[in-house]
Amino acid sequence: MSQLSKTVVLITGASSGIGEATARKLAQQSNFSLVLVARNQQKLETLAEELSAHSSADVMVYPLDLTKLELIPAMVEAVLNRLGRLDVVLQVAGAGDFKPALDINLEEVVNQFQLNTLAGIVLSQAAGQQMVKQGNGKILIVASMSGKLPTPQSSVYAASKSAINTYAAALEMELESSGIAVTVVNPGPVRTPFFDHSSTMQDYIQNVDRFAMDVDQVAQKLANLVLKTGSMPREVNMPFTMRLAYWGHRFFPNLARWLTMRFANFK
């Protein structure tokens, strides 16, 4: 199969966690060119070498700190120059920390919004412009159930994920007539290195371990969405228990708040 006939999938946050796991699943298919994006060049190159050695996928590595928003359009241009098209953008990269709202410093606030919200907006715009020219494409955004079910000590993280959810909802309506699908995937807690960088985060994932998902569960859902033909969902909330909690929050907000403070305040 020629390179130009393969589906080009760009994955951010590809050096670990959900992004890496999804790249591994897609590499098992025979018709993909994968573009792996993350800050850690060494991890990306190691993963690319492994995938290339054990699959038929073409793999391109593009090291980038996505908080450098002005560099994102150049990344999309580099992909187009090398591969000729861009069929799927899978936005997985994200950052967060759990702290009382009054204790988070400005640098932490800016960093979370840059990576969780603004990078997604800039990348969606750059990729979307190319997809409009092609007449097709998919933009898949990994947000979080935190953006739909905020809890104490997650104020900034939840707000940044809520913002990208809202942006994606409007973008989906604008691009629908152009043949471009926009889908947001909101996972609950997932056992990944996302929680490794602070003791508070580590304590949280241990406290919710019985509710947490394995990374392969989310990666398989994302891979299925990449592979899906026909109508795409606008939103995927997972797992089922958190989907139920979200509907309870919508229809019985006062009760949901009481239950959250009483039984779900794990941070």
Q: Name all domains of the chain by residue range, CATH numbers in brackets.
A: 3-238 (3.40.50.720)
Q: Is residue 267 over pLDDT 70? A: no
pLDDT value for 149: 86
Looking at 7-16, 96-105, 178-187, which range is the least confident one? 96-105
Q: Is residue 2 over pLDDT 70? A: no
Q: Which residue has the higher pLDDT, 186 or 200?
A: 186
Looking at 87-96, 144-153, 178-187, which range is the least confident one? 144-153
Q: Is residue 260 over pLDDT 70? A: no
User: pTM score, two decimals?
Assistant: 0.88
Q: Is residue 197 over pLDDT 70? A: no
Q: Which of 62, 157, 167, 204 is catalytic?
A: 157
- Name the band, by pLDDT with cuts 50, 70 and 90, for residue 61: very high
216-248 residue pLDDT tens: 999 999 999 999 999 999 999 988 877 777 777
Cα–Cα dist 120/24, whole Å: 22
Amino acid of residue 171: L
Check if 157 is active-site.
Answer: yes
pLDDT value for 255: 64
In angstroms, how far is CA 49 from the centroid of its own chain? 23
pLDDT value for 164: 98
Cα–Cα dist 241/98, whole Å: 22
Cα–Cα dist 182/91, whole Å: 11
Enter the tokens of residue 79: 């992909």
Cα–Cα dist 64/75, whole Å: 8
Residue with tokens 């919200």: 117
- Name the band, by pLDDT with cuts 50, 70 and 90, for residue 266: low
Mean pLDDT computed over 75-95: 96
Mean pLDDT computed over 182-207: 76
Q: Is residue 163 over pLDDT 80? A: yes
Label residues 114-139 b or e (16+ Cβ within 10 Å = b): bbbbbbbbbbbebbbebbeeeeebbb
Does a cis peptide bond (omega within 30 degrees of 0) precede residue 73? no
Q: Is residue 64 over pLDDT 90? A: yes
Q: Which residues contact 226 (CB under 8 A, 6 or more apart)?
A: 7, 9, 22, 26, 88, 90, 138, 140
